[in-house]
Amino acid sequence: MIETERLRLSLHQMTDFHDLHAMWSDPDVVRHISGVPSSEQESWFRLLRYRGLWDLLGYGYWCVRTKADGRYVGDVGFADWKRDIEPSLDTVPEAGWVLARWAHGQGFATEALQAALAWMDGRGVDRTVCIIAPEHAASCRVAEKCGYSLKGNACFRGEKTLLLQRERDDR
């Protein structure tokens, strides 16, 4: 578990499923990710993947909730999704974040990602990457605030995608 001033990041539990599904099935939330709201089954598979990442990789995604009232904020973390992307991400941990619509524009993504990156830095991970749809200005701002810089363009699912990279702070 990681705590910030306003947030608590913890491993996903079964009790998080309905909140996770509500977020991933919201068209506004997924507009710049896949463009397709998730079905209940797809959300369930996502929850299982999130938990499995930790056992297989030693890192993964956290469930983000407010400390004040436990409200579901979203998901943040790292993965190796084995994406079919050019250029390849190899085995570099890929950062990702997604927030429930109510939580947009409040600085939660930056706060949660900074905490997750500090956790990764503390484990000696030298570099992380993230991919962002070019039109997703809010995520580009989060990435920049968290130390990511443009490495170049990538092609993912036939679409131009921004590839950003961050080096560990204490290298």
* Coil, helix or strand at residue 149: strand
Among 66, 64, 63, 62, which residue's Cα sits nearest to residue 6? Answer: 66
- Say yes or no to pLDDT of 168 above 90: no
In this prediction, residue 14 has a pLDDT band, given cuts at 50, 70 and 90, of: very high
Cβ-based neighbours of 56, under 8 Å, separated by 6 or more: none
CB-based contact 162:150 (threshold 8 Å):
yes
Please state the rounded mean pLDDT for residues 66-81: 98
Would you place residue 170 in the very low, low, confident or very high pLDDT band (cuts 50, 70, 90)? low
Residue 123: how many other CB atoms lie within 10 Å: 10
Q: In the 8-state DSSP scheme, what is residue 143? A: H
Helices then strands (H, E): number in the chain? 5, 9
The pTM for the full model equals 0.94
Whether pLDDT at 117 is above 70 = yes
- Give the DSSP letter of residue 141: H
- Reported as a single tens digit per residue, the pLDDT across 29-57 is 999 998 899 999 999 999 999 999 999 99
Q: What is the mean pLDDT of the chain?
A: 95
pLDDT 10s digits, 144-163 = 999 999 999 999 988 899 99
What would the two tokens of residue 80 be?
């190796």
How far is Cα 93 from Cα 126, in angstroms, rounded to an integer? Answer: 10
Count the helix, strand and coil residues of the chain and give each as a percent rounded to the nearest 5: 35, 30, 35
Residue identified by tokens 């904020």 is 73
